[in-house]
Amino acid sequence: MTHDVNGKVVAITGASRGIGAAAAREFAALGAKVVLMARSRDAIADLAGEIGDTALAVPCDVARFWEVKAAFNAAVDTFGSLDVVINNAGVIEPVARIEDADPDAWGQAIDINLKGTFNGIHAALPHMRTGGGTIIGISSGAATSALEGWSHYCSSKAAALMLTRCLHKEMGAQGIRALGLSPGTVATQMQREIKASGVNPVAQLDWEDHIPPEWPAKALAWMCTPAADAYLGGDISLRDEAIRGAVGLA
């Protein structure tokens, strides 16, 4: 697996914490050059300092296409290529029933979770047209299962899943590997926000029920290898014991 990502340039959105930060450390450990993208300027700067010269921190709001485009241009200017994009940035707040939801806040979640994913795809493709590349979205069981209070999250994740399928349909034959990772519930700040909401069964889970962010990070690296080609155009679920075995997780 090291061979598949060694020397590759991997851009990760939402890299300031959780799955994004764990993925940055995992890819860097496997020899990749990582581009850390997030709104939290200080957090990604600290992480880049931790990783070293093979990391580039670029403050970025994925809801703004021009910022994503500029970040990818910086990646190519610094490291020479763009080989992998992990569209990880996402929000769960504000959790609210449809009748109580604030329309502006609901739309903001769509801007980040869905438009941010589109922006990452659209800005990456010009850099990948000649040599191909891998574009991975962070999906969710919420993409296919409705949950109370999560209309914004379920809708955006369902749409992002279809976006992955469309990307595969349109660009798969041209060397673009499009796929998604549904990690299950992960011990991150998002789960603390879900717990605090008290809404729907996910909020009732104990902290010990969640997997560590290092698990999806390892899965993301595995998904950049030919071993994951059977899943192109769809989602890989870390709830699947066979997948966990293939990735090398307990």
Catalytically active residues are: 153
Instruction: Identify the DSSP state of 250.
Output: -
For residue 154, what are its two tokens? 């379920």
How many beta carbons lie within 10 A of that of residue 178, not counting itself?
23
In 33-102, which ranges are continuous DSSP H helix? 41-51, 65-79
In this structure, are residues 50 and 123 in contact, taking their beta carbons and an 8 Å threshold?
no
In this structure, are residues 61 and 111 in contact, taking their beta carbons and an 8 Å threshold?
no
How many beta carbons lie within 10 A of that of residue 105, not counting itself?
13
In this structure, are residues 14 and 88 in contact, taking their beta carbons and an 8 Å threshold?
yes
Give ∠ CA 169-172-176 in degrees, rounded to 5: 130
Could you list the beta-strand ranges (E) of the chain: 9-13, 33-38, 55-59, 84-87, 133-138, 176-182, 235-237
Distance CA 76, CA 198 (A): 43
For residue 226, what are its two tokens? 């030919």
